Amino acid sequence: MLEVAALSHFYGKHQALADVALGIEQGEIVAILGANGAGKSTLLKSIAGLVRPAAGARIRFEGQSIAELPAHLIVERGIALVPEGRGVFGDLTVAENLQLGAYPARARAGEADRLAKILQLFPRLAERLPQAVRTMSGGEQQMVAIGRALMSNPLLLLLDEPSLGLSPLLSREVFRALTQIRGSGLSVLLVEQNARASLDIADRVYLIESGRNAGTGLASAMKNDPEIQRAYLGKARGASTPT
């Protein structure tokens, strides 16, 4: 459903992405692994239209080019980004954030049903609808961010570091929600520092190093690849034997 090819991006003279390619099929969870500064966030922002890719990039979604579209029209096509740092409206309430999630025309039909489902997915939010989001914990704000993205009735969800700064408990809750979301046929493209958790829920993985593709494969195979364990699962090497 999403095909990216020859995607490059420059911040001034610094090349953040160089000819990156990737693809996602419907219903897949795809994880992108790479060191800090490898260009993972820039990749997601390019797909969402927040940064302009260099000329020649091909980004096709559902068979149509979206490389030139402004961000607000890309949401309208069915791609929702949950940015790093969440990007929620801190001064607005939970209810207002979720209502704004359904701002795109594609999200208006079935809005009430979707809201009910999201509140089921994150029961904490149901208790806090009138609360200003900035007064909530990081984990709760992340739930608002994911919930708001889901309100836009997306076909593809882009998640940038959803567990960053969260306690292990809340991280688990967020990942549990992601596996539940997958059940509804939605595709997910995930950038995550917690490589182990992403390998656990992803179908396929792309490796990005210094802005370039550095490999791809099935998550199940990658999990047991000693090279991957050493490079991305860090010190957990010895402890990674299945129990």
Q: CB-based contacts of 13: which residues, under 8 Å, 6+ apart?
A: none
Q: 75 or 195: whose CB is closer to another protein? A: 75
Q: Which positions from 186 through 225 interact with another protein, judged by CB under 8 A?
A: none
CB-based contacts of 34, cutoff 8 Å, min separation 6 = 40, 207, 208, 209, 214
Beta carbons of 30 and 201 less than 8 angstroms apart: no
Q: How far is the CB of 224 from another protein (least distance, A)?
A: 36
Q: Nearer Cβ to another protein, position 5 or 100?
A: 100
- 80 contributes a contact to another protein by CB under 8 A: yes
Query: Could you say which residues in the range 123-142 bind another protein, by CB under 8 A?
Result: 134
88 near another protein (CB under 8 A): yes
Binding to another protein (CB under 8 A) within 23-42 occurs at none
Q: Can residue 150 be called a binding residue for another protein (CB under 8 A)? A: no
- Which one of residues 55, 64, 91, 239 is an interface residue with another protein (CB under 8 A)? 91
In eight-state DSSP terms, residue 89 is -
Alpha helices in the chain (DSSP H): 40-48, 71-77, 94-101, 111-121, 123-127, 138-151, 168-182, 195-201, 219-223, 226-232
How many residues bind another protein, per CB under 8 A? 30
How far apart (Å, rounded) are the C-alpha atoms in residues 91 and 117?
24
Nearest to 192, CA basis, from 82, 52, 57? 82
The answer to whether residue 152 forms part of the interface with another protein (CB under 8 A) is yes
Q: How many CA atoms lie within 13 A of 211 on its CB side?
A: 15
Stretch that binds another protein, among 8-16, 55-63, 78-86, 213-221 (CB under 8 A): 78-86
Contacting another protein (CB under 8 A), which of 19, 62, 96, 225? Answer: 96
SS3 letters across 185-199 = CCEEEEECCCHHHHH
Nearer to another protein, 3 or 76 (CB): 76
Q: How far is the CB of 180 from another protein (least distance, A)?
A: 22
Least Å from the CB of residue 73 to another protein: 8
Interface residues toward another protein, by CB under 8 A: 48-50, 70-73, 75-76, 80-81, 83, 87-92, 96, 99-104, 107, 134, 148-149, 152
